[in-house]
Structures are given as structure tokens and as C-alpha cells.
Amino acid sequence: MERVPVLKIGDILLVSIQLDMEDQTALQLQEDLADRIVATGCHGVIIDITALDIVDSFVGRMLSTIAAISKVLDAETVVVGMRPAVAITLVELGLSLNGIRTALNVERGMELIAASREETDDWAVDLDEADPGQAATST
């Protein structure tokens, strides 16, 4: 069975889907990805679908599931590189991939994750500053 490689770049896991997804491949990918997120402690997942010609409801649901799993493990998922034809088809099918963030290419996706990490980091810092007593006790 073919497997989709999961690459680690800094704080981000990059998944580039280069083959047609079958049920088994998709399930394997979900499992691999969950394992890698936990093992590496990464906070961002980028799924590159530039090579996908067809995104049907099955692949759409797989993307949603991966996004949900990553979220539970505190990692942000961004789907990048969707082709115009694929986007048009999805819209015509009425699939809007709710809950998935998208970006035009891998670079933009990395920027997006970096930006959202900064926001949450800031929030954490603000919280620490606002309540230094709790921060002291927790350490």
C-alpha cells in the first residue's frame, strides 16, 4: 500500500499529496499524521494538494477529519495549492470545506500558521502578565 510522506520543517509538518487518495491511504495518513504531531510537538500542518486533479466528497471529508484531529492535538491545519478547477467543482458540489483554512501556496500557508501562532503566543504572554501570581504558582 502506498503511503503519503509527512515531512517536518521547523515547527510545521508538511504533507504533499501526490497520488489519488484511496480509503486505506487516507486512513493511514490520518494515523501517521496524528502520531507525528504527538511525536514532534509541531503546531502546524500544511496539506499540499497542488497535484490533486480531483477532490471529491471523500477527500473533502478526509481533509476535514485531519483538520479536526490536528486541532485536538493543538496544531493548526492549512490546505494549500488547490487548483481553480478543483475549487469550482467543490463549489458546484456544494462542499465548502468548513473549518479548514486555505492558502494559495506553501509559502503563504507557512505565513498563515506563523501569524496565528504569534497571536496565540501573545495571548499567552498577556495572560502571564495579567496574572503573574498564577504563573508563579504553576511553575
Task: Tell whether residue 117 is a contact of other proteins (CB under 8 A).
Answer: no
Q: Write the CB contacts of 115 (distance below 8 Å, at least 6 apart in sequence).
A: none
How many residues at the interface with other proteins, by CB under 8 A?
Answer: 24
Return contacts of 91-98, CB within 8 angstroms, 24+ apart: 93/57, 95/57, 95/60, 97/60, 97/63, 97/64, 98/64
Task: State the binding string over 7-46 for other proteins (x if CB under 8 A, else -).
Answer: ----------------------------------------
Kindly state the greatest CA–CA separation across the chain: 55
Work out the angle at residue 8's Cα, subtended by the Cα atoms of residues 75 and 100, and round it to the nearest 5 degrees: 35
How near is the Cβ of 100 to other proteins at its closest, in Å?
9
Task: State the binding string over 66-105 for other proteins (x if CB under 8 A, else -).
Answer: ------------xxx-xxx-xxx-xxx---xx---xxxxx
Q: Which is nearer to other proteins, 42 or 60 (CB)?
A: 60
**Which among 94, 89, 70, 51 has a CA at the least distance from the CA of 13?**
70
Task: Tell whether residue 62 is a contact of other proteins (CB under 8 A).
Answer: no
How near is the Cβ of 6 to other proteins at its closest, in Å?
21
Torsion angle, CA of 7/62/112/98, rounded to 10 degrees?
Answer: 180
- Please report, as a single letter, which amino acid is at residue 111: E
Q: Which is nearer to other proteins, 28 or 108 (CB)?
A: 108
Binding site for other proteins (CB under 8 A): 78-80, 82-84, 86-88, 90-92, 96-97, 101-105, 107-109, 115, 118
